[in-house]
């Protein structure tokens, strides 16, 4: 990987299990699957996940490297860099991913809740993504 920063955790394998919900290549290293799902997710430049909603539990993102974006539906995208933390409440439609010119890595923490599940929605279009600076 031609990463621009030192990774804290191993990059993991190509994220084939969830590839249909990403534009571009991502990698996943599950750090914990017991009690709380915690994944180290790495995005190649311009890779992003589809719009999605975490029902019931929500999600927390801990940015560990590179540059990326986080955007909630009907709100402007926010640029993310190492050290940023994003608390995503349940039922909020959003996406996250790398900038055009940088790898991006975050730790994704699934907030445990009874009946929690993730609903994958439409991709972030190239037209909308390319408007970001």
- Domain architecture of the chain: domains with CATH: 13-130 (2.60.120.10)
pTM exceeding the 0.85 threshold for the entire prediction: yes
Instruction: Name, in order, each residue with C-beta under 8 angstroms of 102's C-beta and a sequence gap of 6 or more.
Output: 4, 45, 66, 67, 68
Name the DSSP letter for residue 130: H
Q: How do residues 11-67 score in pLDDT, each as one tens digit?
A: 999 999 999 999 999 999 999 999 999 999 999 999 999 999 999 999 999 999 999
Confidence of residue 1 (pLDDT cuts 50, 70, 90): very low
| Phi, psi at 26, each rounded to 5° | -125, 165
């Amino acid at each position: 990987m031609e990463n621009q920063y030192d990774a804290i955790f191993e990059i993991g394998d190509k994220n084939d299990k969830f590839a249909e919900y990403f534009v571009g290549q991502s990698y996943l290293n599950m750090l914990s699957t017991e009690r709380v799902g915690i994944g180290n997710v790495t995005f190649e430049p311009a890779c992003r996940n589809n719009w999605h909603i975490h029902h019931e539990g929500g999600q927390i993102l801990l940015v560990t490297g590179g540059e990326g974006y986080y955007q909630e539906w009907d709100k402007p995208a926010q640029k993310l860099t190492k050290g940023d933390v994003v608390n995503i409440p349940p039922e909020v439609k959003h996406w996250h991913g790398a900038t055009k010119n940088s790898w991006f890595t975050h730790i994704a923490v699934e907030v445990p809740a009874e009946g929690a599940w993730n609903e994958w929605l439409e991709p972030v279009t190239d037209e909308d993504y390319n408007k970001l600076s």
